Chain A
Amino acid sequence: MLPQFETNAAFIWAIVIIGITVPALLGIYAGLKARMAKRRLERLQASETR
């Protein structure tokens, strides 16, 4: 159950959403970049050994 705030609930929830979304997006960015770089390297290594 979500907490109930007496005042400024909209402001608090906006800050919480940003506080979760920004690190999550950064995590997705880092993960995707690593995955793409690794796949590219594997593809190049495979084509080199062929």
Chain B
Amino acid sequence: MISIFANPHRFMKLSRWLAPACLVAGILLIAWSLWQALWVVPQDDYQGGDIMRAMFIHVPSAWLAMGSYMGLAVASFVWFIWRHELADMAAKSIAPIGAGYTAMCLATGAIWGKPTWGTWWLWDDARMMSVLLMFFLFLGYMALRAAMDTRQKAARAGAILAMVGAVNVPLIKFSVDIWASIHQSASVIRMDGPAMPAIYLTPLLIGALGHLIFFAALTLTLMRAEVWQRRGDVIMARKLAGG
């Protein structure tokens, strides 16, 4: 599968139908999850009443933010070791979408925090600060790439930053266990299984799957744009060389 996908020509052929198919599937799953969250799922008095419905948007965005950074780091690693251009294109494409999902996680978390904990933000909360750091890592990755004068330099500098920054992802996950945090400890991804009733867990997982598929659709679309961009650059270079 990887060898099929690693060929840019085959990638363009495959992603031509895969990107819109993922887009439609992702939107349908997200819409179903939102419908469940707002109309179907009963409020949980133990979790603060109706405000717990924020979970169905905030938690998938948090998972996607962390997952996208890991995707960025893995794609950067693949480029760094094997110098495969599609891996660099994947890393470049993941960054803006990951930054968007991280911003969404921070914003929805702050709004959820106000009625639940009485505060929008805590500067000494390890979970909040490590997610904020990840947001700046995404922005830094894009700024660093844009600052380089050649594509190779941009890919190398970006890959190093992405791989070093990956240390932050396990810190986000385990920050609530290592340091004192206002966040509750994990209730879904746990060694002894999810500690959440199925009526909440199912729409949450379906919503997260929808966002993951939607994310894949956008990444494929941006990768296709990057392939077209580079093909255009080749023609431009040829024209300039020919006078």
Does A34 contact B225, Cβ atoms closer than 8 Å? yes
Q: Which of B33-62 contact A (CB under 8 A)?
A: 34, 38-39, 43, 48-51, 53-54, 57-58, 61
Smallest CB-CB separation from B231: which chain A residue? A41
CA distance A19 to B37 in the complex (A): 12
Kindly supply a per-residue 1/0 record for chain A positions 1-42, scoring 1 wherever the CB is within 8 Å of any chain B CB and 0 otherwise.
001011111011011101110110111011101101110110
Kindly supply a per-residue 1/0 record for chain B positions 213-243, scoring 1 wherever the CB is within 8 Å of any chain A CB and 0 otherwise.
0100010011011101101100110110000
- 7 tightest A-B contacts by CB? A19-B57, A37-B228, A34-B225, A37-B225, A5-B50, A22-B104, A30-B221
Does A26 contact B228, Cβ atoms closer than 8 Å? no
Does A22 contact B100, Cβ atoms closer than 8 Å? yes
Does A40 contact B232, Cβ atoms closer than 8 Å? yes
SS class, residues of chain A in contact with chain B: helix
CA distance A15 to B117 in the complex (A): 16
Kindly supply a per-residue 1/0 record for chain B positions 73-117, scoring 1 wherever the CB is within 8 Å of any chain A CB and 0 otherwise.
000000000000000000000001100110110011001101100
Q: Which of A5, A15, A25, A41 contacts B100 (CB 8 A)?
A: A25
State the total of A-B contacts with C-beta under 8 angstroms: 111
Across-interface contacts of A8 in B (CB, < 8 A): 48-51, 115
Across-interface contacts of B231 in A (CB, < 8 A): 41
| In the complex, B30 has a CB within 8 A of chain A | yes
Does A12 contact B51, Cβ atoms closer than 8 Å? yes
Smallest CB-CB separation from B51: which chain A residue? A8
CB A27 to nearest CB in B, in angstroms, measures 6
| In the complex, B127 has a CB within 8 A of chain A | no
Does B222 contact A22, Cβ atoms closer than 8 Å? no
Q: Which of B30, B50, B225 contacts A30 (CB 8 A)?
A: B225
Q: Which of B23, B49, B54, B115 contacts A6 (CB 8 A)?
A: B49
Does A38 contact B30, Cβ atoms closer than 8 Å? no
| In the complex, B145 has a CB within 8 A of chain A | no
Across-interface contacts of A44 in B (CB, < 8 A): 232, 235-236, 239
Across-interface contacts of B30 in A (CB, < 8 A): 23
Q: Which of B51, B214, B228 contacts A38 (CB 8 A)?
A: B228
Does B221 contact A15, Cβ atoms closer than 8 Å? no
